[in-house]
Structures are given as structure tokens and as C-alpha cells.
Structure 1
Amino acid sequence: MRRYRWWFGGLALAGVVVLVAVFALLGRQPPAPQDDLPGPPGTGPLTVVAMGDSTLSGEGAGNYLQETNGQNGNWCHRSPNASVFKIEAPGIEKKINLACSGAPSAQVALGDIKQWTEPSQAQQLAELTKTHRISAVVVALGANDDPHFSGLISECFRAWFSERIPPCSERIKQDWQNRVDAMVPKVVGALEDIRKVLRRAGYDTEDYQLVLQTYAAPIGPDIPEEYRSLNGCPFRKEDLRWVKNEAVKTLTAGLRDVAAQTSARLLDLSAAGDGHEACSGGDDPSSEWFSRLTVQWTDLTDADRAGHAIQDSFHPNAAGHAQFARCVSEFLATSDPAAACLEGDDGQLHAATMAGPLN
């Protein structure tokens, strides 16, 4: 009997070992599938995306990607110096630039409108959701719709050449508010299409951040007189004053309305370039965050490129993009519905909370 008791005891011990192993296996949780990860659904790296026009494409920052510098008619002018590539946010693994110089809202929205041979940016975003998890979409848009902001700058440029031509602001300001009002629903439609793309990909609104960025004034009246010429900034003083103090502020108010209508977060850059506009540094341009009049002289000898020889002018330069990225990074780390990019005591841009509702 003692021999059988030993056998039963060994069997019981083995049973205990098996039970412990079973409980251990049951208690061990398998790795969570990527669809169950916090934040955006899908698979792939956590990604921030830039969409819109030249402000985000990198126009003015130089070193453009060859395929967007006139190759096969593509002049989107995407630069590795663009602000999206300087953004720092926890967990972000990829930074992708879909913005294209000169893009109107219709090319950012879903549809068949192309910009410099490129299809809808919203459609490109839809493809991106198949391989990336979109954490944030930063958009700069509207200036190439009814306001035609780059055309405004060009018109003011032409007015400088002849005193017989009235200041550009005299004519433009007569219907500037109407232009901005006409722009608003177009930008609203583009942002709604961005949300539609992400919703179709399984995103809830809380899975990602949609940030609408406004425009900074690239030029201002407080520049040395000798640089208010072909040396850098050939504009009349009254036009410089109007662009900075009225045009940009009205444009910002319109985009604030867009953000309210689409529940986008608003990042106000209207004062971001104060003291750092093109030509503001005089003999030392190192403090400037915007490009001066820039001519690609070799392009003037090429019929296909001549029309783009001054395309870089009066856009954020590489230093400006780095500063804007600093502000965007700070904003993405908050839950504030709106903030303004303002220069701090350290000489850097920071995101300052804006009080009051957007609407």
C-alpha cells in the first residue's frame, strides 16, 4: 500500500504542475493587435501629415525635391526643410508632406482638380491610411482661393515700379473682405473632405488632431528704406502697412471661422513673423524668417522654368519653417482649441493659448 500511496502522490504532484502551467497560460495576455493600439486605427507607423499650399510645402526653404522642382511639370516645391519635418511629438515615427505650392482648396479636397500634375491631396491621404496611422493633420489653406494672396503680392510689386499706378492696396482693399468671405466655404469643404477620408478609414474624431494653420505676414513696413527696392523688398510703404495690418488679419478672421465650422484646432500665425519679415534685418538677413525677392537667374534661360524664376520669393525660409515647427509641436502637445504663435523672451516662437470661443 505504501507503494501505491507514493504513486498517487506523484500523480497529484504532476496534476498540480499541469494546473499551474494552465493558469499561467491563461493569465498571460497575448500581444494586442495594432487595431487595438491607443489612438489611430490601422497598421503602420504613427504619422503627422502636412496638407495645403506653399506655406507648408516648403516654398522659400530651398533644396526642393527634384521631382517637385519642375520635373514633368511638377512645381509643388516640397523641401526637406519644410516645417512638418521639424515637428517633434511623442510617438511620431513618420512625417509626410502632401502640401503643394499654389494649391487651392479644390485640390486639397476630394475630386478631380490637380495642382502641378498632382491629384487630390485628400485622395493621397486616403492611400496613406492603408499603410500609416495618422495622428495629426496640419493644414494651411485658403490663400490661393479667392484672396489670391500671391497675386496680391505680385500686384503690389508691380505698383512699386511706377508712381502713375496707384498703391495696390487702394484697389484690393475695396473687395478684400468679400474675397475672404468667398474663401471660407471652400476651405470648410476641404477640411470636411479630410475628415471624410479618415472616417471612411475607421477613424473617430478623437483618434487624430486636425490643425488649421493661418498665415504670417511675410513683409511689413518696418524695413530699412534702402531695402524697399530691388535689393530685397520692392514695395510701397502704404502697401506694406496694409498687407501686415489689414490683409493678413482679415484672412486670419476668415480661417478662424473655418475652424469653428469644422471643429478644427486653430493655430494663429498672423503675428508669428513680427520683427522677422523679409528685409527687416537690413544688411544682416540672418534674423529673417522669410525669403526676400529671390531670382533663380539660370531659370530665366530655360523657357519651361522662366515663369517660376521668382517663385521662392516672400515665403517662409528654412529658419522660419523651423520656428513654425517649434510652435506646432507645442500646440500638438496641448488640448487647447486655439493658440497663437508668438515670440518669447528667448527669441523663439511658442504656442500661446487664445482665450474665448472660435466662433
Structure 2
Amino acid sequence: MLRRFLAVVLVLPLLALLVVVSDSPFPSAPGPGRSAPTAMVALGDSTMSGEGAGSYEPGTDGEGDNWCHRSLKASVWRTKVAVDKVFNLACSGSNAEQVGRTDQIRNTEGSQSRQLAAIARQYRVTTVLVAVGANDDPRFSDVLGACLRSWFDRKTDCSATMADEWRDRVSRMVPKVEKALRDITSTLRDEGYTQRSYQLVLQSYASPVAPGVPVDLQNLSGCPLRTGDLKWVRETAVNQLSTGLGKAAAAVGARFLDLSQAGAKHEACSGGRDPGTEWFTRLTVDFDGLRDEGRARHALQESFHPNARGYEQFGRCMTEFLKTEAPSAQCQPDENGDLTPVLPR
């Protein structure tokens, strides 16, 4: 009798479970559903938007004071992933707050994470690429501006005063990037995604300049930066920035692609009289824009950003990295000079 009672007690819960399963033969898929089209989404600042490559999407080249400069030649368009749709939400000048959940408006646009949420309801997002941090405490573009002024003043290298505080700037940036990444994961979780249902990748920055610039280009015709500053940017600043971003990615379980060495031998002005070998813009002035008061303050905006060749190489490296399951890698040239992800040993 006892055995029969125990059998009934054990069987009834199993029957109840079978009834539930029969009503739902498959667990619900994360996001908008199994039949929804898939998507890859890019978020971040100028190095993800495609600043410097031209061919900007209508509405992002100053129209209505929107200077996001989303290029159709940005690296996300060169990243080959099997998805139905690609979205580039990155905006030149954005900081970590803008990428995360915020009420801040910049370049006439709001939170990129909230824009991601709208996409995630309609598309099944499988890949999220992020590049952010340089416009936070490091203020990398301002640093280059200070180095330009040092060249004009013909005084000391800007790195002489910048080096001591740079590491602290990077340290203050790390938690802000962490928060932005957590906001992205929270946004997708709120839309029904699990962390295993998509890839989140943070990439770092490549040095746009390096020592060895020909003397006849170390001026307004190319790269007006002092030799000591060129060396500091290439060998110290970019590496420390990349290390900080790697810590932020690891803290939230995001994958990390290190681009700190990606531009080696292809920096601005490295090609001398042949800029066709370079992956970064030299000092670039929009002279037509100088005639317009609204555009004048953006006349130098493209300077020292990757060009179309650089973005193509970054996209190539990202494509190969996404094929792996490695948590991190560094983009380095292969035997043909093309960027490829090198996994840590």
C-alpha cells in the first residue's frame, strides 16, 4: 500500500509537467522570436561611426546640427556576420553615458541603448559591437589638440605635462565604460534576451600617429606634432587606454578586441609622399565649411581618424574574431599585411 501511495505521489507531478510541456513544445526564444530577422548593431563614438571615411549617411553630416558622421564605409559595414540587417547607432563625439541609458542629448540624438531596445523588439539581435571611452575622461581628441598647440608654440612636448595625469584619466574612464556595457546588457535582458543569445564585443583604439614622420610632413600639410608627442601617443597613451578598456570588458563578461597595434606602419603621414598606404587621415580641414558659421567648428573633425582603408581592415579583423570563441584577441598584421586577430597565449 505504501509503495502504491509513493508511486502516485511521484507520478502526479510528472503528469502535470507533461501537460505544461505539451502546451509549450519549445521554450520561448529570447527577443522577438525565432522567425524574426536577425541583426548586428554598432554603438559608440567616432571610431565606430566611421568618422574620417566620408560617405556619411544623410542626416548625420551637419544637417539639423547632427554631426554623428555615420559612414557607409565604417568598420561595421565591413564586418561579415550572417545577419539580415546591420544598424550603426554610433555617433561621433559620444561618451559612455550616451551609449548607456541616459536622458542626455548629444548631436540631436538620445541614448544609444534605448535605440538598441527598439531594434531588439523587432529584430533578433545576435551581435553588438561597441567602441567607447576616448571621449570620457581621457578626452583623446583634446589631447591631440593640445599636442597640435605645442607644435605651434614650439615649446615643450605636450606629453611632458600630460603623461602624469593620463593614467588617472584612463582609470576614471573604466567604471563609466563598465556602466555603459551593463546598460546594454540590461537593455537586452529587459527585452527578453539571455546573455548567451548574443555576442557583446568592446573594441579599443588604434594609434593614428607614430614617430618617424618625414620632416616635410611634420607640419600643417600633414601631421603637425612634435616627435616626442608622436612617440608618447603611439607607445604609451594608446596602450594604456586599451588596457583600461580591456578591464572594463572583463568586468562585465564582454569580449574584447584590442586595436592598439592595429595601425602599425599605416599611421597618418607614415607613407610620406604616398598616403595611399595609410589607414588614418592626416590633418584634414573642411575649407568650405569654414565659410559657414554652423560648420566652422567642425572643420577639423575628420582629422586623425581612420580612413576607409583602415575601417576595412578593422572590420576584417573583427570578422575573424567573431568566428572564434576567445574572450579577447589583438589585431595584428598577417603575412600579407592584413589585420587578423591574434589570441593571447
TM-score (norm 1): 0.87
Q: Does 1:267 align with 2:257?
A: yes
Q: Give the deviation of 1:166 after TM superposition.
A: 2.1
Task: Report the AA paired with residue 105 of structure 1.
Answer: A
Task: Give the alignment partner of residue 134 of structure 2, picking from 140, 143, 146.
Answer: 143
Decide which structure has the larger Cα Rg and report it.
1
Partner in structure 1 of residue 14 of structure 2? none
Partner in structure 2 of residue 120 of structure 1? 111
Q: Residue 126 of structure 2 contacts residue 199 of structure 2 at CA under 8 Å; is this kept in 1?
A: yes
Q: Give the deviation of 1:39 after TM superposition.
A: 9.5
Q: Residue 284 of structure 2 contacts residue 300 of structure 2 at CA under 8 Å; is this kept in 1?
A: yes
Task: Report the AA paired with residue 58 of structure 2.
Answer: Q
Partner in structure 1 of residue 21 of structure 2? none
Task: Report the AA paired with residue 340 of structure 2.
Answer: H
Partner in structure 2 of residue 133 of structure 1? 124
Percent of aligned positions that are identical: 49
Partner in structure 1 of residue 68 of structure 2? 76
Q: Give the deviation of 1:41 after TM superposition.
A: 4.5
Q: Give the deviation of 1:43 after TM superposition.
A: 5.2
Stretches of structure 1 lacking an aligned partner (at least 5 in a row): 1-31
Task: Report the AA paired with residue 290 of structure 2.
Answer: L
Q: Residue 60 of structure 2 contacts residue 68 of structure 2 at CA under 8 Å; is this kept in 1?
A: yes
RMSD over aligned Cα atoms: 1.8
Q: 1:33–1:283: structure 2 CA closer, same or farther, 3 Å change rule?
A: farther
TM-score (norm 2): 0.90
Q: Does 1:66 align with 2:58?
A: yes
Task: Give the alignment partner of residue 56 of structure 1, picking from 48, 58, 63.
Answer: 48
Q: Give the deviation of 1:158 after TM superposition.
A: 1.0
Stretches of structure 2 lacking an aligned partner (at least 5 in a row): 1-23
Q: 1:321–1:34: structure 2 CA closer, same or farther, 3 Å change rule?
A: farther
Q: Residue 40 of structure 1 contacts residue 134 of structure 1 at CA under 8 Å; is this kept in 2?
A: no
Secondary structure, aligned partner of 1:308: coil
Q: 1:123–1:302: structure 2 CA closer, same or farther, 3 Å change rule?
A: same
Partner in structure 1 of residue 290 of structure 2? 300
Q: 1:47–1:282: structure 2 CA closer, same or farther, 3 Å change rule?
A: same
Partner in structure 2 of residue 24 of structure 1? none
Q: 1:278-299: per-residue Cα shift (whole Å, max 9, x none)?
A: 0100100111100111111100
Q: Residue 217 of structure 2 contacts residue 223 of structure 2 at CA under 8 Å; is this kept in 1?
A: yes
Q: 1:212-264: per-residue Cα shift (whole Å, max 9, x none)?
A: 10110000002212111111100000000000000011101111110110101
Q: 1:40–1:285: structure 2 CA closer, same or farther, 3 Å change rule?
A: farther
Q: Residue 127 of structure 2 contacts residue 200 of structure 2 at CA under 8 Å; is this kept in 1?
A: yes
Question: CA separation in 2, counterparts of 1:265 and 1:50?
Answer: 14
Partner in structure 1 of residue 329 of structure 2? 339
Question: CA separation in 2, counterparts of 1:203 and 1:138?
Answer: 16
Secondary structure, aligned partner of 2:164: coil
Question: CA separation in 2, counterparts of 1:47 and 1:292?
Answer: 34
Task: Give the alignment partner of residue 169 of structure 2, picking from 168, 179, 186.
Answer: 179
Matches within 5 A, 1:28-43: 41=33
Q: Give the deviation of 1:66 after TM superposition.
A: 2.5
Q: Residue 157 of structure 1 contacts residue 234 of structure 1 at CA under 8 Å; is this kept in 2?
A: yes
Q: Residue 30 of structure 2 contacts residue 192 of structure 2 at CA under 8 Å; is this kept in 1?
A: no
Partner in structure 2 of residue 213 of structure 1? 203
Q: 1:41–1:354: structure 2 CA closer, same or farther, 3 Å change rule?
A: farther
Task: Report the AA paired with residue 86 of structure 1.
Answer: R
Question: CA separation in 2, counterparts of 1:325 and 1:138?
Answer: 11
Secondary structure, aligned partner of 2:342: strand
